[in-house]
Structure 1
């Protein structure tokens, strides 16, 4: 009886997979925002600009040169093929709408239940309002939204005075102080899938969104939801470890293991230990994707895809590229490695700094071309990351060793 030898996948092969599956190599770029989101499973949306920058970096030809704004806004606000909602780790993402039921059932629903419980607890401690009052307030808000089609929180507050009610938050703590019900209740309703974020006020970089009613979709079973999300994620990010998946989803390790078993995930050897791939994903990757460069935004889903990042980011560069909470800033990539950072200066120029050797003139020319492409479609728009990192701050402020494109 033969001995089964576990497949080993090295860093070079992982970087080749990333180039194609994350739509970063020129030959693998996408034709639409929906293709990008589907390939990555989720786009980080805590910073609204990151969604657009992440899509733009992965669009082919004229699509990439023109930028992602029109296509992404159509997908989000007209066709509704993409949905902005809270998901893994209590974080705001943009998902393919077809994946929303699985995300809600596996992840968001439990977080929403905790948020509602905490809101009711705070109301009871810091006001005279009770659960019956809150339910009636919700009914009025949902009725107003249905009649209007969409509205901002301020517009809803004027139409539904209850939404402007205040309560004492953090009773008995150093954080004690008055807080308005509006933003917190709308957040809970959004996490419950009863309302959704619509168009922002102002430009695409704005974080002030209108709200709209959303039809409730039936949730799959917990087991099916966990399995579907893991299946999608492994297709995009496999191989990866249990620790990577636990970090990315925010699930308990028991839920991670059940989901991996449900999809029939195969163990493989990685430099950091045991990884997992889908059962039909054991074969080596195909043709070499060729050299590629990319300028990815802060919180990009590729840079934030794994907990263990040494195979694509030099640990020596962590202090420059990450903030104190672990959020990654804008990064420069060459052939599957983070080799530097970038920032937009007040005059619109894209400043780049390399933190490690990048293969000479070919790499620098390719990075320069990507910087010029980004500068071209941004035009007069100025983008400042919500979570600023040391290198981004330095580059945004002036030359100091950075090169402008």
Structure 2
């Protein structure tokens, strides 16, 4: 008979898997590796995702991990969206996921005037334009493509889709950000070096392992929603590691985790990952944090009645305040005043406010600026 988990203990396990409680990651590379990648379409938000999973780093350290150490790389990966992934993983991830999403994006490229011939000519030109270690912004890259005889419509979404296609084909990735935080693009193999190819079967299995280590307990449907892989690839990957998994029962049904994963002692109410001295586990997460994007549904961590406050539409997922793994507020940073404005769903308990003050102070340390907490009336 499988272990039965309460919703509370399931949240605690997922918090721990995401390194949002318990021992923090030592650096940005280990945070990204342990989280199985971090959503990265917002460069400021992905730095906050690293902050929440580490201790003592600054935003400058995260930028350095990209530009100097090259231990992490931003490119299109899971779900065909921008992710920050470990440099050691980027090759096999792009090999596995890139063909899926470049094929899915073909119809939209055609609508934007990028036919198959133009796309392939664009790849060849990009290799020439970025040779020699050059790093160009998207606008600069598109301008040079035009000079090479591959015109891409500069207005609208065509440049973004051409760049994403080149990344999914393993030609480019994001390079260092400029002082104004504008991203640049570089040749992937020049930036990270060569990698050992994996068979699709091996890569599928490894992605399941990475996913369950970072998001388990979870289900194949959760893995499919997170990865975006086709149903057949999900089934093949899951089946290939089935002997390595342990089953648990949750209020939503059966779920799986890697064998050997520690389960909280529910009989004793073991406070797994409890802060020193006790108290609630409080975390400020930035926009698009992967904690909210790793499963098919969010009801376990985000009460349905408040879901539209966090994602009202258009794909935007607002920054959230977590207490013991559950979303209890949204927040924003007022840059000029240094205020962290929190909008709670209900009144926050004194113990939560105490831990929240510590989080706000750590946010200021990370950003190297003064911060102060402002809590709106609920």
| Shorter-chain TM band | 0.7 to 0.9
Conservation of the 8 A alpha-carbon contact between 1:33 and 1:75? yes
Mapping of 1:180-329 within 5 angstroms? 182-203=159-180, 206=181, 208-215=182-189, 217-264=195-242, 265-281=245-261, 283-284=263-264, 288-290=272-274, 291-325=280-314, 327-329=316-318
Per-residue deviation at 1:79? 2.3
Measured in 1, the distance between the counterparts of 2:262 and 2:365 equals 40
Could you say if the C-alpha distance between residues 158 and 400 of structure 1 is closer, same or farther in structure 2, counting changes exceeding 3 Å?
same
Task: Please give the root-mean-square deviation of Cα atoms over the aligned residues, in Å.
Answer: 3.0
**Cα deviation code 1:113-165 (max 9, x no counterpart):** 4445764x458xx59x872x654553333122113532223434554413662
Conservation of the 8 A alpha-carbon contact between 1:34 and 1:96? yes
**Cα deviation code 1:252-300 (max 9, x no counterpart):** 3332222121112333211112211123337546763213211001111
Counterpart of 2:92 in structure 1 is 102
Conservation of the 8 A alpha-carbon contact between 2:13 and 2:263? no
Consecutive unaligned residues in structure 1, runs of 5 or more:
168-176, 383-394
Measured in 1, the distance between the counterparts of 2:297 and 2:116 equals 45
Counterpart of 1:15 in structure 2 is 11
Paired residues, what number?
Answer: 360
- Which one of the candidate residues 54, 63, 76 is aligned to 1:86? 76
Mapping of 1:166-177 within 5 angstroms? 166=152
The runs of 4+ residues in structure 1 deviating greater than 4 Å are 133-137, 157-160, 177-183, 282-287, 379-382
Counterpart of 2:377 in structure 1 is 401
Conservation of the 8 A alpha-carbon contact between 2:319 and 2:332? yes
Measured in 2, the distance between the counterparts of 1:372 and 1:90 equals 35
Counterpart of 1:47 in structure 2 is 42
Measured in 2, the distance between the counterparts of 1:237 and 1:10 equals 16
Conservation of the 8 A alpha-carbon contact between 1:151 and 1:212? yes
**Cα deviation code 1:293-320 (max 9, x no counterpart):** 1100111111222222222221111121
TM-score under structure 1 length normalisation:
0.79
Could you say if the C-alpha distance between residues 113 and 219 of structure 1 is closer, same or farther in structure 2, counting changes exceeding 3 Å?
farther
Counterpart of 1:361 in structure 2 is 350
Q: Which has the larger radius of gyration?
A: 1
SS at match of 2:284: strand
Measured in 2, the distance between the counterparts of 1:91 and 1:135 equals 21
TM-score under structure 2 length normalisation:
0.84
Conservation of the 8 A alpha-carbon contact between 2:342 and 2:376? no
Measured in 2, the distance between the counterparts of 1:12 and 1:305 equals 17
Measured in 2, the distance between the counterparts of 1:363 and 1:34 equals 30
Measured in 1, the distance between the counterparts of 2:82 and 2:370 equals 23
Measured in 2, the distance between the counterparts of 1:181 and 1:313 equals 35
Measured in 1, the distance between the counterparts of 2:219 and 2:144 equals 50
Measured in 1, the distance between the counterparts of 2:302 and 2:90 equals 31
Conservation of the 8 A alpha-carbon contact between 1:241 and 1:274? yes
**Cα deviation code 1:359-387 (max 9, x no counterpart):** x32111101221222134435699xxxxx
Measured in 1, the distance between the counterparts of 2:120 and 2:60 equals 38
Measured in 1, the distance between the counterparts of 2:156 and 2:14 equals 44
Could you say if the C-alpha distance between residues 181 and 350 of structure 1 is closer, same or farther in structure 2, counting changes exceeding 3 Å?
closer
Could you say if the C-alpha distance between residues 315 and 183 of structure 1 is closer, same or farther in structure 2, counting changes exceeding 3 Å?
closer
